[in-house]
Structures are given as structure tokens and as C-alpha cells.
Amino acid sequence: MGVREGLLALLHEGPSHGYQLRTDLERTVADLWSVNIGQVYTTLQRLERDGLVVAEGDADADGRVPYRLTDAGRGDVTAWLGTPEPRRDDVRDELVLKVLLARRSGLRDPQDVIDAQREATMQALQAFTRRRAELTPEQGLEELLALDRLALRARAELDWLELVEQRLDTAAPPPRHTGSPTDTTTDRVPATLAAEQS
Amino acid sequence: MTTHTTPADGSPVLVLQDVHRVHGSGETASTALAGVDLTVHPGELVAITGRSGSGKSTLLNVAGGLDVPTAGSVTVAGSRLDGMSRAALAELRRRHVGYVFQADNLLPTLTALENVALPLELDGVPVGAARGAAERALARVLPPEHANRYPDQLSGGEQQRVAIARALVGERTLLLADEPTGALDEVTAEGVLRLLREAVDNGAAALMVTHDPAQAAWADRVVRLRDGLVQSAVTAEGVEVTL
């Protein structure tokens, strides 16, 4: 995730070799992501093949080859930095599904689904908040930015749960499968199934 | 901040037992609190959340003796509030309870320092001592050169920090905050909450009403009210950040 572009951006600072690039990359993201050294080497080879970096001279005593950024590579990463990240909007969100299925099936009160999720998400938000409180922008900007993002996602989820609760309060009764098309009173287990269970 | 008189035995600062509050009577009666139990210990920040009308502000007022329960009992710093005379209640509030509301209640004709010293002076603390304590409390929240500014010469965030210093000055054990960061921007609000957290970590107990999950997350315990009852309580303990 972003290793390719990370390598290009770091090489803009000057020629470097794979091992050093990995260290620098991990430091940039406050060691939040661990970067696989093998991936760094294969990525460098691919970048070289595509003309975005070139090997600069020979391997040193440890067999490390320094790479230099080409103009094409600089253009590539500059364009990447200026491109918005694709949004990950997935309507097939499992939480939405849980609420809707709980409501429809009657197997659980949808409020239980909301309460359980709210507790888990609030605990995560509390943990993020506590960790953030220990950091200052001077000391831990990298981690702070990552935590801000996680905290805001958690808040969005809590806001959404609040909204769900309010919407369910005022919503019409859920649609349920019924014993017969005209029978609208059956609301749980179909009669045949109920008979089998007893 | 200031030193707090923390009960040595770790006994709770605030205890609500089966607290009911019904406004009005007969057909127009509306129930704000329908039997709430809540205990807050020193070193604990408790957030009260819930929708509008869930009873959270009433809970805060009842806890601070500003509103009287219809049934149930409220105990602050070991004293039961019911049956207490008006004067005794006022005395208890002054001695133990600090309030932080949205940034609109600093007295505009007093400087930041005078605002912070005021509760102590009202308490009968000699002016010199009151000023000294106020200076110390204020130094934690504002650069010293701001101490003699008037509220309208301070930013919203600074005003709210002064309000917290004022709530904490003296040896107050219970802080009651109603949406303490109001309309402040995120980073400024964080500074205010950090201060509240610090006071609590130094031994105060605090109850904070908020509708904002981001604020509530600063608390050790998040209590959610619904229709005047505790719907859920979430504690922060044991959750680790894994990135």
C-alpha cells in the first residue's frame, strides 16, 4: 500500500538503496506500517524496468545498489500526490446488514445490535483519545495524524448509530415474511416451522 | 492545577441513588429522570450522553444541588443534599463543586485573574490569598501576561480555559461541566478537555454532559441516558490501541 510511491518520494531527497529506503519509509509513517524488505526490492526492480528509477553505480561492499529518481519517476509521484484517494464507499456494509436483519428476523432487538456496536466503538474511541492526549504535534505528528483519522472514523460510526436509533424509533414496522400473502399477523416463526420445533 | 481535598479512603465524591425528577404534575407531568444510580470517585471523569430530552442536563443540575430530585438521594462529598438548608447547600456547593458551562459566563467587567479569584473571595478567603491561588490556577491555563486581560480580549478557547481555572480554584472535589467546549474548534476544544482531564488525573471527580462522542471519549466512563434512565455505561479500561 503506497510502497511504490513512498520509494519514489523518498528518492526525491537523493539516491538511496533498498535497505535505507525501507527504514526511511517506516519512519515516515511512525512505524505504523511495517514494510517488507522483499517488497521494497521487487518494487525497486519494477520501477527500474519502467524507467522511473535507475541504478546509480555499482553495489557497495554489502551488495547494496543505490537508486536515483528519474524525471519520469518524479512526474509519477508528483501526480500521485495530487490525486485524491479513491473513496471506499461500500453500501454492502455489514453493520447496516446486521441492523436490518435483526429488525426483520426478530432474532434480536436491533437496539441490541446498536448498543453492542456503540460500546465497542466508544471503547476504541476512548483508547484513541487517550493515546492522542499523550502526543504533541511536535513529538508525534506521524502517529497523531493516523490516530486523528481513526478517531474520526469511530466518531462517524457513533453518529451513524445515533441516527439509526432515532430512525428506528419512528420507522414503520419492519417487513417480514408471512404465512400467506394475506396474513399480516404472523410475525415470527412460520406455523409449520413452529410445529416442528415443538 | 490546585490541590484537591481527596477523601483518603477513596470514598465517592458523588452518589446518586434511584434519583427521580418529574417536572410539573398531573396530566402535564414530564419525567426527566426515572430512577438513576450513579457513583463518581476521585480521579474519575464521567461523561453523560444521550439525545436532547434524555435527562442529561437535569442529572447535572441535580448532582450540583441546583435542582431537587422528586425522589431518591444525592450525596456530595459525604453529605446528603436532601433536607439541607439553603445556606448549608450553598456552602457545600461553594466548597466542593465547580461548574464549567459554555463560554458565556465570565464576568465581563473583571479580568481573567479577578474572575478566577472571585469564588474564593465569595468564600471569605482574604483577597491576597485568593489572588495567589487564582494566579497559580491561571498559570496552568494561560500565559501570565494574559492574566490581566478582560474576557473580550481573550479568544473563545482562552475564555473557556479561564472558566475551567475558575471552576477548579480552591479545593473543589467535584467538577460539573455542561458541553464545556461549546462551539470551539477541534484543536482548541482538545486543549480545554486536556485541562479537564489533567484536573481529574490530579484527584478531582468530574461529570461532563455532552452530545459529542469525541468529547465523551475523554471520559473514563461514558454513561448514556435514555428517557431518564441509564441505557448503557461504557468504561475505557482494558482497551489498547492497536495500529
Kindly state the helix (H) or strand (E) to which residue B136 belongs, with its residue range.
helix B127-139
- pLDDT, tens digit (0-9, with 9 covering 90-100), for B56-74: 999 999 999 989 999 999 9
ipTM associated with this complex: 0.82
**Banded model confidence at residue A186, pLDDT cuts 50, 70, 90:** very low
Between CA A76 and CA A5 the distance in angstroms is 8
CA distances from A28 to A16, A141, B12, B228 (A): 15, 10, 46, 49
Between CA B151 and CA B144 the distance in angstroms is 15
- pLDDT, tens digit (0-9, with 9 covering 90-100), for B19-70: 999 998 888 889 999 999 999 999 999 999 999 889 999 999 999 998 999 9
Is residue A146 within 8 Å of residue A132, measured between CB atoms? no
Partner residue facing B241 (CB), from A122, A131, A155 = A131
Query: Which pLDDT does position B2 carry in this prediction?
Result: 42
Residue numbers in B near A166 (CB within 8 A): 51
Neighbours of A117 (CB within 10 A): 18
Query: Which pLDDT does position A198 carry in this prediction?
Result: 41
Is residue B169 within 8 Å of residue B204, measured between CB atoms? no
**Banded model confidence at residue B103, pLDDT cuts 50, 70, 90:** low
**DSSP structure string for A163-193:** HHHHHHHHSPPPP---SSTT-----SS-HHH
Strand-pairing partners, residue B207, are B46, B176
- Chain B, residues 43-102, CB within 8 A of chain A, namely 51
Residue numbers in A near B222 (CB within 8 A): 122, 126
Q: Closest Cα of chain B to A122: distance in Å? A: 7
Find, in chain A, the residue whose alpha carbon is nearest to that of B217: A126
State yes or no: pLDDT of B218 exceeds 60: yes
- Tell me the average pLDDT of chain B: 87
Query: Which pLDDT does position B3 carry in this prediction?
Result: 43
- pLDDT, tens digit (0-9, with 9 covering 90-100), for B152-184: 999 888 888 888 888 878 778 899 999 888 777
State yes or no: pLDDT of A33 exceeds 50: yes
State yes or no: pLDDT of A182 exceeds 60: no
Find, in chain A, the residue whose alpha carbon is nearest to that of B237: A123
Between CA A100 and CA A78 the distance in angstroms is 44
A146 touches B at CB < 8 Å? yes
Question: What is the pTM assigned to this prediction?
Answer: 0.80
